[in-house]
Amino acid sequence: MAKRRFDVPMAFISFVDHAREFLKAPCESPLRNVPREHSFCAYTILDDEVLVVSDTTRDERFAENPFVVGDFNIRFYAGAPLITSSGHRIGTVCLLDTCPRSDFSKRDKRDLADLASF
């Protein structure tokens, strides 16, 4: 549903622990888990807000990330934190694209946050 709504080639539900990110429902990707130090979602769970990175090559947190400079060629990331009723941030609903995107609107952010709130 997220892949179709946001017209992205990759969408995930992820769960982040102290060492790894586990990807569930990974549409169009062979990835199943990622070391936390390479996880975009590890940044998303630090806040309550949707994180949008329009061009990963221009963001100092991600410019040298192996998923940006390597074969996956990730250029766009958007993620909304999954927050339990007790306030624990356990993962994200996230979107990835191989092209930068500057058109992720306030409505898009709200819709992504809504997907993560279920």
Q: How far is CA 25 from the centre of its chain?
A: 13
CA 26, CA 81: separation in Å to the nearest integer? 16
Tokens describing residue 118:
């279920």
Q: Is the pLDDT of residue 66 over 80?
A: yes
pLDDT score of 20: 87
Long-range contacts of 113-118 (CB under 8 A, 24+ apart): 113/49, 113/50, 113/80, 115/1, 115/2, 115/80, 116/80, 116/81, 116/82, 116/83, 116/92
Task: Report pLDDT digits (tens) over 20-51.
Answer: 888 886 555 666 678 889 999 999 999 999 99
Architecture of domain 2-116: 2-Layer Sandwich (3.30)
Q: How confident is the model at residue 8 (pLDDT cuts 50, 70, 90)?
A: very high
Three-state DSSP state, 97: strand
Q: HSE (CB half, 13 Å, CA atoms) of 99?
A: 7
CA 114, CA 116: separation in Å to the nearest integer? 5
Residue ranges of the alpha helices (H) in the chain? Answer: 2-6, 41-44, 66-69, 106-116
Q: Is the pLDDT of residue 70 over 70?
A: yes
Q: Is the pLDDT of residue 14 over 70?
A: yes
